[in-house]
Structure 1
């Protein structure tokens, strides 16, 4: 038990040492699951804070696995039904997903929202306690990434579990991640992305350039973290009003 106590103290120290990890409902709660994995539970203010908290904990010696129960404070509180409908509408409007069958899971079962004549993939949307889960299978990583980002952009989303399979299997690369992040930054209607440069090395995305406000600096970082396959984000953006 002493070993577990020491590990928990080291994780708490790591979480406190990064000012970008900002819990919003008390300290992040830590415990060990029966299988020995570290369980992390609580709420943070941004997607970047969630990812950084998980990274900080994973670097502590003795942490062999993590049960992620961290949630992001919603920009706008929404009920599960409203979140589900908003995700549904966002996916329906996205041209990249136009050939995918869309279904939603409700209390009454699974409802089909769209079924193209010649579908290439299927996405099933469900929401519980603000957590959006995407199940099914799509035809490429580009579709998987875009569906996940659109789910994160719904202001009531507290977490997104992107369980979409890719068939046929799609080989990932730094170049593909860079292209995906650029596309997401340019697509974000709240972000002025024309002066942002994106590079990727071994899954770590670096953002450089200029944005007009600190809020947009944070927004660009969160957008990059929302892209499936991104293992880290280095934010070198400068604010130039």
Structure 2
């Protein structure tokens, strides 16, 4: 494994070539220990976070990478408020209308919709939401990998969310691959009111997402890219979306 300072220089050089954002006002560090590389600090958005983790893996000579990067929350949101908003968003989503939703509050399980018996009897799934330090953790079971990815995305869309740990399982188990990633991203873009999904093309090859098409604003292009990065694709995201005018 290379020295952490060497990896850091390589990662930041590649990051500056790939990204329109600069990180001079954000503190990011890579440290080595116990045979792993830990990338930590605060970044402005999910795309920066995922790109830095991917580049650390690329330059880490196969060493495990521990992701402790957090997305800046401006303004900060308390854990209780964030947990409430994530649960509300899940309950409002059409794709989870039959899903049992619950929250873990101070070690106790608060059933917000449905019962555990319903989750088992009806096979509708169950999502448990825990929040600590602005990090949202999702556990339970959902009916497909696309639903798993959509649940994580809905958590990311809540203001104040600094990270999402998606431990949801799909039941029955499904094989993951490029077609599944593409299907999930179509579902996500259609659910995002900030983008016009019909104007965005999606191509996934070897877990690498390439976005194309034409949109009205840079903000819409960047939002589509943010959505794609939230899917945790190991191959990364390439944004070829053109902005009209």
TM-score, structure 1 as length reference: 0.90
1:137 and 1:167 in contact (8 A); partners too: yes
User: Which residue of structure 2 lines up, in the alignment, with residue 10 of structure 1?
Assistant: 7
**What pairs up with 1:13-92 in 2 under 5 angstroms?**
13-19=10-16, 20=19, 22-23=22-23, 26-33=26-33, 35-74=34-73, 76-92=75-91
Q: Secondary structure at the match of 1:156?
A: coil
Q: Cα RMSD between the aligned structures?
A: 2.0
Alignment counterpart, residue 130 of structure 1, candidates 114, 134, 143: 134
2:49 and 2:70 in contact (8 A); partners too: yes
Q: CA offset at residue 98 of structure 1?
A: 2.0
Q: CA offset at residue 58 of structure 1?
A: 1.0
Q: Does 1:143 align with 2:147?
A: yes
Classify 1:191/1:24 alpha carbon distance in 2 versus 1 (closer, same or farther; 3 Å).
Answer: farther
Gaps of 5+ in 1: none
Q: CA offset at residue 231 of structure 1?
A: 3.6
Q: Secondary structure at the match of 1:176?
A: helix
Q: CA offset at residue 12 of structure 1?
A: 2.8
Classify 1:230/1:96 alpha carbon distance in 2 versus 1 (closer, same or farther; 3 Å).
Answer: farther
What is the distance in 1 between the residues matched to 2:234 and 2:140? 21
User: Which residue of structure 2 lines up, in the alignment, with residue 190 of structure 1?
Assistant: 194
What is the distance in 1 between the residues matched to 2:220 and 2:36? 35
Q: Secondary structure at the match of 1:53?
A: helix
1:148 and 1:228 in contact (8 A); partners too: no
User: Which residue of structure 1 lines up, in the alignment, with residue 170 of structure 2?
Assistant: 166
Q: For 1:185-205, what per-residue CA distance to the aligned partner results, in whole angstroms no more than 9, with x for missing partners?
A: 121112233311111112111
Q: CA offset at residue 230 of structure 1?
A: 5.9
Gaps of 5+ in 2: none
What is the distance in 1 between the residues matched to 2:162 and 2:215? 26
Classify 1:4/1:233 alpha carbon distance in 2 versus 1 (closer, same or farther; 3 Å).
Answer: closer
Moved more, 214-223 or 60-69: 60-69
1:101 and 1:119 in contact (8 A); partners too: no
Q: For 1:2-30, what per-residue CA distance to the aligned partner results, in whole angstroms no more than 9, with x for missing partners?
A: x754x422323322442226447543122
Q: Secondary structure at the match of 2:197?
A: coil
Moved more, 37-46 or 223-232: 223-232
Q: CA offset at residue 99 of structure 1?
A: 2.2
Q: Secondary structure at the match of 1:155?
A: coil
